């Protein structure tokens, strides 16, 4: 039988070249670069709540780290270190090999050292802490939006909700469509390069994990501002409009969650610079609205009329059921 310490040694102990002392002691020792601030975030994923029990362990390992890297990206920080805590029903070696492979492959891509964590027996639960560096006073925060700012999003929204609708048997995607869109749910790509490139340009930023309306709402609340989203400008795949009824497509775009794109605000006079940054880092960026004085969020259709989107986004303790029929899992 695989012991706890053998499990850690075999699957999660790797060289940590950017770390003073990594896995194997009571604490890790890290040295933040001179003059840098430390950005820290933690996410927990629970089987049956955030992912299905039969989820592919390789993809789950990727996603467990990716959702944390997305938080680091939203601050404009450079990821450096991570810790991992696992509760496991049993020490399933095939599952552990796959999960570790997915996690560590993504960590290697972003030069993140896994420096510690914990394992225990219990219901399958994954908790990752991510740490990164950002120049002092430069981090992209939620409280920096200003009147006249343009609201931008990266990539396209609604793909993860589209795949969830397929998994929930609410719609049917063709096999080639599943192959194209499933990675948007199971293996999101954190926008780290974009976040870093927006330092000194964007006034505020957040990653879209709970849905555009809810997450932009956090920026508005923290910045004491109002916002307008122009619905036709929100980037989406053709399948979102073609496969989903109009009302469901609306919620997929604005409240579907699991997009892990960036929503940020920047001065209108830097519009061309924002587009150039997107081109330089290889990520599409789209202006979807604006910041105004006041409070609250307004969504407008193609004719400029207000759109009622109801309750938007996740609140882990705010409701006993998901907001739509095809969103069976909560967001980390």
Could you tell me the pTM of the whole model? 0.89
Whether the per-residue pLDDT at 134 is higher than 90: the answer is yes
pLDDT tens for each residue of 236-282: 998 998 988 888 899 899 998 899 999 999 999 999 999 999 999 99
How many domains, in total, are found in the chain? 2
105 and 226, same domain (yes or no): no
276 and 156, same domain (yes or no): yes
pLDDT of residue 222: 97
pLDDT of residue 266: 98
pLDDT of residue 324: 33
User: Taking residues 51-56, what's their average pLDDT?
Assistant: 89
36 belongs to a structural domain: yes
Q: Are 223 and 142 in contact (CB under 8 A)?
A: yes
User: Taking residues 64-69, what's their average pLDDT?
Assistant: 97
pLDDT tens for each residue of 189-206: 999 999 999 999 999 999
pLDDT band at 312 (very low <50, low <70, confident <90, very high): low
Domain carrying residue 120: 4-134
219 and 123, same domain (yes or no): no
User: Taking residues 31-53, what's their average pLDDT?
Assistant: 91
pLDDT tens for each residue of 200-223: 999 999 999 999 999 999 999 999
Whether the per-residue pLDDT at 320 is higher than 50: the answer is no
- Rounded to 5°, the CA angle 101-106-111 comes to 120
Rounded to the nearest integer, the mean pLDDT of the chain is 90
* Residue 236 to residue 160: CA distance in whole angstroms: 11
C-alpha to C-alpha distances, 174 to 69, 162, 184, 303, nearest whole angstrom: 31, 12, 16, 33
Closest CA to 91 of 2, 210, 211: 2
pLDDT tens for each residue of 74-118: 999 999 999 999 999 998 899 999 999 999 999 999 999 999 999
Return the CATH number at 260. 3.90.650.10
176 and 291, same domain (yes or no): yes
179 and 274, same domain (yes or no): yes
327 belongs to a structural domain: no
């Amino acid at each position: 039988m695989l012991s706890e310490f053998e499990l850690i040694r075999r699957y999660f102990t790797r060289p940590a070249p950017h770390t003073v002392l990594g896995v194997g002691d009571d604490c890790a020792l890290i040295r933040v670069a001179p003059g840098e601030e430390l950005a820290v975030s933690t996410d927990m994923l629970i089987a049956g709540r955030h992912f299905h029990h039969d989820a592919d362990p390789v993809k789950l390992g990727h996603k467990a780290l990716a959702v944390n890297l997305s938080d680091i990206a939203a601050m404009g920080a450079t990821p450096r270190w991570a810790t991992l805590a696992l509760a496991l029903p049993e020490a399933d070696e095939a599952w552990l090999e796959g999960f570790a492979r997915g996690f560590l492959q993504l960590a290697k891509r972003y030069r993140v050292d896994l420096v510690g964590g914990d394992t225990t027996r219990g219901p399958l639960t994954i908790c990752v802490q991510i740490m990164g560096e950002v120049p002092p006073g430069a981090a992209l925060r939620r409280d920096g939006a200003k009147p006249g700012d343009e609201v931008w999003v990266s990539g396209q929204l609604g793909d993860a909700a589209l795949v969830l609708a397929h998994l929930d048997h609410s719609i049917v995607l063709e096999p080639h469509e599943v192959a194209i869109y499933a990675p948007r749910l199971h293996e999101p790509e954190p926008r780290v390069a974009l976040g870093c490139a927006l330092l000194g340009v964007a006034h505020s930023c957040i990653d879209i994990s709970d849905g555009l309306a809810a997450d932009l709402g956090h920026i508005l609340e923290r910045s004491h501002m109002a916002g307008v989203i122009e619905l036709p400008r929100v980037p989406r795949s053709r399948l979102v409009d073609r496969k989903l009824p109009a009302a469901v497509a609306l919620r997929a775009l604005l409240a579907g969650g699991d997009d892990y794109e960036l929503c940020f605000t920047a001065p209108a006079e830097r519009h061309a610079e924002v587009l150039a940054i997107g081109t330089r880092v290889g990520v599409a960026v789209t202006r979807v609205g604006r910041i105004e004085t006041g409070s609250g969020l307004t969504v407008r259709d193609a004719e400029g009329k207000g759109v009622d989107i109801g309750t938007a986004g996740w609140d882990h303790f705010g409701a006993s059921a998901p907001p739509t029929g095809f969103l069976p899992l909560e967001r980390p």
